[in-house]
Amino acid sequence: MMYNDRMQLAINREASITQINLVNQSFLWMFIGLFVTGISSLIVASNQTLVSAIYSNSIVFFGLIIAELALVFFLSLRITKMSFGVAVISFTIYSLLNGLTIASIFLIYTASSIASTFFITAIVFGVMAFYGYTTKRDLTSIGNLAFMGLIGVIIASVVNLFLKNNTFSYILSYLTIAIFIGLTAYDTQKIKQMESEVGNQNLGILGALMLYLDFINIFLNLLRIIGRKRD
């Protein structure tokens, strides 16, 4: 009995360490992705040639958007089937593409406004991630509700492209923030529960992609609401 108890304690301890390592890996790769996005955005924003090449040419701009969307969907579906090296490169390329397409925020909003919004986003994101990791409550229902809400927001956003209603756009931004705040907690809990699949080292990249999308969407929509535009 003593031997069995020790074995069970060892198994539980190893599972706990695996959870922590996987969560740490996910957050580490998320930070790397955000760093790549931030650097690429700053490089584009500070180079008038790149700004003109991307934002003055609709074919290039929408080509980047389509490539970005295609890559994130491909990663979401296939990342666990790739080699680790390919997964890392694909995630890095996605982060880079995202940086190229959102570089315009440095042209629209003041640097102090971007910095303060990023700081607020980090606090909100950190609180919800901590809640998702520590809570004993099953957040599956919240995740499902947030996902359904996200589909509704995407459809409404497409409709608003034709309506061009600024008030409706702000409402969608508030809804999007609420949805991704909920998804932050849910995704963190989901990553914590992935220890049973620990044999696949790409799970850290998958977790990073989930958290990266949560953070970026909260940040961009919060910036739209509270960001101060340049004169």
Per-residue model confidence (pLDDT) at position 199: 57
Average pLDDT of every residue of the chain: 88
Of 196, 190, 201, 198, the closest CA to residue 81 belongs to 201
* Cβ-based burial of 187 (10 A; exposed 0-12, middle 13-18, buried ≥19): buried
End-to-end CA distance of the chain: 74
Q: Whole-prediction pTM value?
A: 0.88
**pLDDT tens, position by position, 145-191:** 999 999 999 999 989 888 888 899 999 999 999 999 999 999 999 99
Angle at 122 between CA 43 and CA 194, to 5 degrees: 105
* Residue 18: pLDDT over 70: no
The one-letter amino acid at 14: E
Q: By the 8 A CB rule, do 221 and 176 touch?
A: yes
pLDDT score for 8: 43
String of b and e for 85-123 (b: at least 16 CB within 10 Å)?
eebbebbeebbbbbbbbbbbbbeebeeebbeebbeebee
Average pLDDT of the residues in 46-70: 92
Please name the residues in contact with 222: beta carbons below 8 A apart, sequence gap of 6 or more.
117, 120, 121, 173, 177
The total of other beta-carbon atoms located within 10 Å of residue 157's CB is: 15
Confidence of residue 206 (pLDDT cuts 50, 70, 90): very high
Render 118-181 in DSSP notation, one character per residue: HHHHHHHHHHHHHHHHH--S--HHHHHHHHHHHHHHHHHHHHHHHH--HHHHHHHHHHHHHHHH
What does the block give as tokens for 34?
A: 């955000």
Half-sphere exposure of 164 (CA within 13 A, CB side): 1
197 confidence band (pLDDT: 50, 70, 90) = low
Per-residue confidence (pLDDT) for residue 193, from 0 to 100? 87
Distance CA 139, CA 181 (A): 12
